[in-house]
Amino acid sequence: MSADSPLPKPPLAIDREILQLFASEQTRDSALRLLMQHYSKRLYWHIRKMVIDHDETDDLLQETFIKAWKGLANFRDEAALYTWLYRIATNNCLTHLQKKRVRFFLPIHNITPELQEKLSAATPSEAAESIEFKLQQAILRLPDKQRMVFNMRYYDEMPYEEMSQVLGTSVGALKASYHHAAKKVEDFLKNR
């Protein structure tokens, strides 16, 4: 079993360096390399916890970096690079999950069984009875946004203020959302 999260937030100096490198055409590749070195793992696990499947995560993560590559040249808000990247990844995830719910223009409301199957397929058999696996099963029952809030708070230990910047939701609403999510997860685990 592996847990690459919570990972420490990259120092602000790194973000500044990334932006400086991006400002010049000649050093953009170096900037992207630096960005990936510092954010790959954080963003990978952020996405992976939402879509579960590794290949889908890989696609979404690369898409996140490509969007950053395109938009970063004009990005000036140094303090927000970290939350900006998180926001791109988050939006990619939510859009991806939303698309999964629609087949032939018809909405399919429940993709939880598919995610549960992917969770079982991704989990080694020796971990199938572990509390970590059951916790994941419980989390997958939550609605997407509540699941996102739960993951960011519980696994990434992200402060509510930063979550608010990423998700564009008030701190109060995020606290309430986390509280409801945690309650549902606890109930599920207690009744197993």
- By C-alpha distance, which of 140, 183, 9 is closest to 82? 9
161 binds another protein (CB under 8 A): no
CA 112 to chain centre: 17
**What is the contact mask toward another protein in residues 61 to 80, using x (rule: CB under 8 A)?**
xx--xx--x-----------
Judged by CB under 8 A, the residue of 27, 75, 119, 141 near another protein is 119
Nearest-10 crossing angle of helices 12-23, 81-100? 80
182 binds another protein (CB under 8 A): yes
What is the H or E stretch that residue 102 is in? strand 102-103
Q: Say if residues 44 and 61 touch (Cβ distance below 8 Å).
A: yes
| CB of residue 46 to another protein, shortest distance in Å | 12
Judged by CB under 8 A, the residue of 7, 94, 135, 144 near another protein is 135
Closer to another protein at the Cβ: 77 or 179? Answer: 179
| CB of residue 125 to another protein, shortest distance in Å | 11
- By C-alpha distance, which of 55, 56, 28, 60 is closest to 43? 60
179 binds another protein (CB under 8 A): no
- By C-alpha distance, which of 7, 68, 1 is closest to 34? 68
141 binds another protein (CB under 8 A): no
185 binds another protein (CB under 8 A): yes
Count of CB atoms situated within 10 Å of the CB of 65: 19
Count of residues for the chain? Answer: 192
Distance CA 136, CA 128 (A): 11
Strand, helix or coil at 164?
Answer: helix
The stretch among 79-87, 97-105, 106-114, 127-135 that binds another protein (CB under 8 A) is 127-135
Interface residue list for another protein (CB under 8 A):
1-6, 29, 32-33, 36-37, 40-41, 44-45, 48-49, 52, 54, 58, 61-62, 65-66, 69, 119, 122-124, 127-128, 130-133, 135-136, 154-155, 182, 185-186, 189-190
